[in-house]
Structure 1
Amino acid sequence: MAERSAREILAAKLEHFRREHAISSDPAQRFALEQQIEQTERELAALGASTPASPLRVDLTHLPAGAEHFLGRGPELAALDRAWASNGATAIVECIAPGGTGKTALAKRWLDAQRAADPPWGGAERVLGWTFYSQGSGAQRNASEDLFLAHAIERFGVDIDAAANPADKGSALAEALMARRTLLVLDGLEPLQHPPGQLAGELRAPGLKALLTQLAAAGHPGLCLLTSREWLTDLKEWVRPPDGSGADAAIESEIEPTGPLRGSVLRIDLGSLNEADGAALLHARGAVRAGAAAIAPAQARLDPELRAASRALGGHALTLSLLGRFIARAKGGDIRRRGEIDLVRADQDARGHAGRMVAAYVHWFQQAGRHREVAALHLLGLFDRPAAPALLDALRQAPPIAGLTEPLQDLDTDTWTITLANLADAGLIERRDANGAPAPDAATEPDTGTDLIATIDPAATQVDAHPLIREHLGATLRERAPDAWCEGHRRLYEWLKTNTPYRPDGLPGLQPLYQAVAHGCLAGEWHEALADILDDRILRGTESGSSYSTHTLGAISADLAAAACFFDEPWVRPARPLSAPEQAWLLHEVGFRLRALGRLAEALEPMRTAAEMRVFEQNWTEAGISYGNLSELELALGQIQEAVTDARRSVEVGDRSDNCHLPVKQRPRLADALHQQGANAEARAAFAEAEAMQAERQPQYPLLYSFMGFRYCDLLLSDAERAAWSAAAQETANGGGYRSAFAAGLVAVCTEVARRAAQTLEWGEQNQAPLLTIGLDHLTLARCAL
Structure 2
Amino acid sequence: MTELGQELRRRRLSAGLSLAALAATAHFTKGYLSKVETGRVRVNRGVAEAYDKALGAGGELAALVPVRPPGREGPGIAGLPAGTRHFLGRESELAALSTALVESDDVRVCVVHGMAGAGKTALAVAAARAAERDFPDGSVFLDLRGHTPGASPLSAEEALRQLLRLFEVPAEEVPTGLDARANLFRGRLRGRKVLLVLDNARSAAQIAPLLPGEPACRVLVTSRNRLSALDDAWHQEAGLLDPGDAVAVLRAVGGVPADEVAAEVAALCGRLPLALRIAGARLAAGGWTPERLRRRLAGEHTRLAALDDGERGVAAAFAVSYEGLPEEQRRLFGLLAVHPAAPAEAAALEALAGAGPGELDHLLDRLHDAHLVTLAPEGLVGLHDLVRAFALRHARPGTEDRRAAVGRLTEYATARVLAADEAAEPDRYRPPVDCERAAPFPDADTALAWLREQWPVLAGVVELAGEYGLHRRCAQLALLLRAFFFREKLFEPWLRTHRVALEVAADDATAGMLLNNLGMAHVERGELAEAADCHRRARERCLAAGDERGAVDALSSLAWVRLYQGEVEEALRGLEETLSVYRAAGRMRNVEIAMRGRALALTELRRFAEAAEQAAEARSLARRPPDVLMAVNCQAWIAFRRGEHEAAERLYTEAAELADLADSRYERARALTGLGNTARARGDAAAAARWWAAADGLRVDLPPVVLGEARVRAG
TM-score (norm 1): 0.52
Structure 2 counterpart of 1:625 = 557
Is 2:396 the partner of 1:477? yes
Q: Letter of the aligned partner of 2:324 in structure 1? A: F
Q: Is the 8 A contact 1:584 1:611 kept in 2?
A: no
Q: 2:364 and 2:498 mapped to 1: Cα distance?
A: 33
TM-fit CA distance, 1:104: 1.8
* Aligned residue identity for 1:375: R
1:637 match: none
Map 1:353-364 to 2 at 5 A: 354-355=314-315, 357-359=317-319, 361-362=321-322, 364=323
1:657 paired with 2:578, answer yes
Instruction: Measure how far apart 1:72 and its partner are.
Output: 5.2
Contact 1:67/1:108 (8 A) holds in 2: no
Question: How many Å separate the matches in 2 of 1:562 and 1:278?
Answer: 50
For residue 501 of structure 1, give the secondary structure of its aligned residue in structure 2: coil
Partner SS, residue 505 of structure 1: helix
Counterpart CA distance in 2 for 1:630 and 1:277 is: 68
Aligned match of 1:467 in 385, 392, 395?
385
* 8 Å contact from structure 1 (residues 487, 523) kept in 2: yes
* In 2, Cα distance between equivalents of 1:578 and 1:139: 31
Is residue 109 from structure 1 mapped to residue 126 from structure 2 by the alignment? yes
Q: What's 1:83 paired with? A: 101
Report what 2:206 is aligned to. 201
The answer to whether residue 676 in structure 2 is matched with residue 755 in structure 1 is no
Supply the AA of the counterpart residue of 2:538: M
Contact 1:252 1:269 (C-alpha < 8 Å) held by counterparts: no
Show structure 1 runs of 5+ residues with no match. Answer: 1-52, 116-120, 154-159, 191-195, 204-208, 231-250, 257-262, 435-460, 543-547, 633-642, 670-684, 714-752
Residue 374 of structure 2: aligned partner: 430
Does the 8 Å contact 2:478/2:498 carry over to 1?
no
Aligned partner of 1:137: which letter? A
Among 198, 201, 213, the residue aligned to 1:217: 213
Sequence identity percentage: 14
What letter is aligned with 1:365? G
Q: Distance in 1 between matches of 2:617 and 2:213?
A: 51
Q: Is residue 365 of structure 1 aligned with residue 324 of structure 2? A: yes
> 2: distance between equivalents of 1:67 and 1:690?
74
- In the other structure, the counterpart of 2:611 is 694
Between the aligned partners of 1:712 and 1:471, the Cα distance in structure 2 is: 62
Q: Is the 8 A contact 2:459 2:493 kept in 1?
A: no
TM-score by length of 2: 0.56
CA distance in 2, matches of 1:148, 1:59: 11
Contact 2:112 2:222 in 1 (8 A): yes
Corresponding residue for residue 18 of structure 2? none
Q: Which moved more, 1:421-430 or 1:648-657?
A: 648-657
Q: Of residues 668, 686, 693 in structure 2, which corresponds to 1:771?
A: 668
CA distance in 2, matches of 1:139, 1:561: 14
* Cα offsets for 1:26-48 (capped at 9, x unmatched): xxxxxxxxxxxxxxxxxxxxxxx
Residue in structure 2 matching 1:504, options 440, 444, 450: 444
Deviation per residue, 1:446-494 (Å, 9 max, x gap): xxxxxxxxxxxxxxx6543313323553575376432343245246537
Q: Secondary structure at the match of 2:206?
A: coil
Q: Give the residue type in structure 2 aligned to 1:105.
A: A
**Pairwise CA distance, 1:285:** 4.2
1:501: how far off? 0.9
Answer yes or no: is the 8 Å Cα contact 1:67–1:109 preserved in 2. no
**Structure 1 counterpart of 2:372, one-letter code:** L
Partner of 2:537: 612
Task: Report the CA distance between 1:360 and its aligned residue.
Answer: 5.7
What is the alpha-carbon distance in structure 1 between the residues aligned to residue 304 and residue 498 of structure 2?
Answer: 36
* Cα separation, 1, equivalents of 2:117 and 2:534: 39
Partner in structure 2 of residue 47 of structure 1: none
Q: Tell me, what secondary structure is at the counterpart of 1:225?
A: strand
Structure 1 residue 505, shift from structure 2 partner: 0.7
Q: Matched residues in 1 for 2:296 and 2:458: separation?
A: 46
Whether 2:293 is the aligned partner of 1:332: answer: yes
SS at match of 1:365: coil
The aligned residue for residue 673 of structure 1 is none
Tell whether the 8 Å contact from 1:664 to 1:693 is kept in structure 2 after alignment: no
More RCO (CA 8 Å, sep 6+): 1
- List per-residue Cα deviations over 1:365-420 (Å, max 9, x = no partner): 26xxx224313423432354444455555666xxxx4xxx6xx998597xx2xx65
One-letter amino acid matched to 1:694:
A
Alignment partners' CA distance in 1, 2:648 and 2:199: 49
- 1:46-70 per-residue CA deviation (whole Å, 9 max, x = no partner) reads xxxxxxx994679767748999578
Q: 2 CA distance for matches of 1:182 and 1:202?
A: 16
What do the CA deviations read for 1:131-187 (whole angstroms, capped 9, x no partner)?
A: 46587333798978767655553xxxxxx7675336899988867755664434344
- In structure 2, the CA distance between the partners of 1:189 and 1:529, relative to structure 1 (3 Å rule), is farther
Look up the SS of the partner of 2:678 in the other structure: helix
Q: For 1:493, which of 396, 401, 413 is the aligned residue?
A: 413
Per-residue CA deviations over 1:522-554 (Å, capped at 9, x if unaligned) read 3576656765x7766x76xx6xxxxx7755xxx
Structure 1 residues 465, 374: CA separation in 2 closer, same or farther (over 3 Å shift)?
A: same
Alignment of 1:76-225 (within 5 A): 78-79=96-97, 81-86=99-104, 90-93=107-110, 100=117, 102-114=119-131, 121-122=133-134, 124=136, 126-131=138-143, 133=145, 136-138=150-152, 149-150=164-165, 152-153=167-168, 163-165=172-174, 181-188=193-200, 201=206, 212=210, 216-220=212-216, 222-225=217-220
Q: Which amino acid aligns with 1:225?
A: L
Contact 2:88–2:245 (Cα < 8 Å) also in 1: no
User: Using the alignment, how far apart are the partners of 1:606 and 1:485 within structure 2?
Assistant: 36
The residue type paired with residue 483 of structure 1 is R
Who is 1:253 aligned against?
228
**How many residues are paired up?**
531
Q: Is the 8 A contact 1:342 1:356 kept in 2?
A: yes
User: Aligned equivalents of 1:135 and 1:690: distance in 2?
Assistant: 59
Report if the CA contact (8 A) 2:639-2:647 is conserved: no
SS in 2 for 1:482: helix
SS in 1 for 2:504: coil
Which amino acid is the alignment partner of residue 136 of structure 1?
A: G
Q: Is the Cα contact below 8 Å between 2:652 and 2:675 reproduced in 1?
A: no
* Aligned mates of 1:165, 1:93 — CA distance in 2: 28
Q: CA RMSD in A?
A: 5.8
Q: Which residue number corresponds to residue 721 of structure 1?
A: none
Letter paired with 1:504: A
Is contact 1:128–1:185 with CA below 8 Å preserved after alignment? yes
Instruction: Note the C-alpha offset of 1:631.
Output: 8.1
Pairwise CA distance, 1:223: 3.0
> Quick one: distance in 2 between partners of 1:630 and 1:358?
58
| Corresponding residue to 1:576 among 504, 528, 552 | 504
* CA separation of 1:500 and 1:656: change in aligned 2, threshold 3 A: closer
- DSSP 3-state at the match of 1:612: helix
Q: Which residue identity is paired with 2:371? A: G
Q: 1:576 to 1:411 in 2, by over 3 A?
A: closer
Q: Structure 1 residues 760 and 71, CA, compared in 2 at 3 Å: closer, same or farther?
A: same
Deviation track 1:588-614 (CA, whole Å, cap 9, x = no partner) reads: 545645665x6x67x865663344332
CA shift, 1:425, in A, is 4.8
| 1:280–1:520 distance in 2 versus 1, CA, 3 Å | same
In structure 2, the gaps of 5 or more residues are: 1-70, 284-288, 420-437, 544-550, 581-590, 620-630, 660-666, 686-715
Offset of 1:629 from its aligned partner? 3.7
Q: Secondary structure at the residue paired with 1:477?
A: coil
Deviation at 1:576, TM superposition (A): 0.9
Structure 2 contact 341–457 (Cα < 8 Å) conserved: no
**Structure-2 residue corresponding to 1:561:** 493
Alignment check: 8 A CA contact 1:631 1:647 kept: yes
